Copies of this chain bind each other. A is one copy, B any other.
Amino acid sequence: MTNRLEDLLSTLQAAATLEDLQAILETLRDHYGVEHTVYHWVNSVGERYGAGTYSAEWVDRYLEKDYLRMDPVIFVCFQRFTPVSWKELDWSSKPAREMWQDALDHGLGNQGYTIPIRGPSGQFALFTLNASLSDEDWAQFIDENARDLMILGHEFNKKALEFEQWGEDGSVPALSPRELASMGCLARGMSRAQAAAELNISEHTLRVYIESSRHKLGAMNTTHAVARALSAGIIII
């Protein structure tokens, strides 16, 4: 079992395209004997990226019906650090129950396990296994494989980040100390006058820093500049 995992991880580390991830997920599904294995990257607007063994029909339907906004799995994973087994969730709301039935009709199994994974700048992804098993068998399966699945999920996310070149490209412009301090003050809610007082400089000088930060960050306005600085991780609230 462990050797098989090592093989899969080696393959994963050699993956170069999204199709490679797709193939690995299929291998993984067969290896674990489950219905589906899915890695997908989630953001507020919709699915930005993903691979898995769900049927194209189900993926289309999921997007079309905007299930992303009512899916308890996503909702709960967004607020949790630890993985979740689907049966633990609250499926009582009407849209959730409709979605669940719809999922079963589209070939999903009755059990699921989803691992939330977070990367830099709010990046968020999910690694999911779906199966048809009794509650006891599923609990045992998860108990036995939870750790391997976490490793796998993280390796998938690592690859996805490489593909997208998220943050790793060092294209983040360097701000001077005063510029960083200025951005920091603004990000913490200070007005220009307050920030200038905090930094013991005139408001005009502060403005010069904000302007130069804006230009370096390629931002349209102060809010944009602060957002980019935060997103790039060069300031922290």
Q: How far is the CB of A210 from chain B (nearest CB, A)?
A: 10
Q: A80-B168, A223-B186 are in contact. Are A230 and B233 (CB under 8 A)?
A: no
Chain A: residues with Cβ within 8 Å of the partner, total of 56
Residues of B within 8 A of A42 (CB): 236
Q: Is A150 an interface residue (CB 8 A)?
A: yes
User: What chain B residues lie within 8 Å of A154 (beta carbons)?
Assistant: 81, 150
Q: A157 at interface (Cβ–Cβ under 8 A)?
A: yes
With A119-B81, A120-B79, A237-B44 in contact, do A221 and B157 touch (Cβ < 8 Å)?
A: no
Contact A122 B122 (CB under 8 A): yes
Does A220 count as interface, using CB distance less than 8 angstroms?
yes
Given A223-B222, A227-B227: A172 in contact with B79 (beta carbons within 8 A): yes
Binds B, one of A26-34, A54-62, A131-139, A188-196: A188-196
Q: List chain B residues, Cβ under 8 A from A45.
A: 184
A219 within 8 A of B: yes
Partner of A121, one of B75, B190, B222, B237: B237
CA distance A169 to B63 in the complex (A): 30
Would you call A106 an interface residue if the criterion is a C-beta within 8 Å of the partner chain's C-beta atoms?
no
Which residues in B have their C-beta under 8 angstroms from that of A222? Answer: 223
CB distance from A181 to the nearest CB of B (A): 8
Interface string of A178-221 (1 = CB under 8 A from B): 00100010111111000000000000000000000000000111
CB A80 to nearest CB in B, in angstroms, measures 6
> CA separation between A224 and B221, bound complex, in Å?
13
Can you pick out 9 interface pairs between chain A and chain B where the beta carbons lie within 8 Å of each other? A44-B235, A79-B168, A79-B172, A122-B237, A124-B236, A147-B151, A151-B151, A189-B219, A226-B227
The 10 closest A-B pairs by CB, nearest first: A189-B224, A44-B236, A189-B220, A118-B118, A78-B233, A187-B227, A81-B119, A79-B233, A122-B236, A223-B223
> Interface of A with B (CB < 8 Å)?
42-45, 69, 75, 78-82, 116, 118-124, 147, 150-151, 154, 157-158, 161, 166-168, 172, 177, 180, 184, 186-191, 219-224, 226-228, 230-237
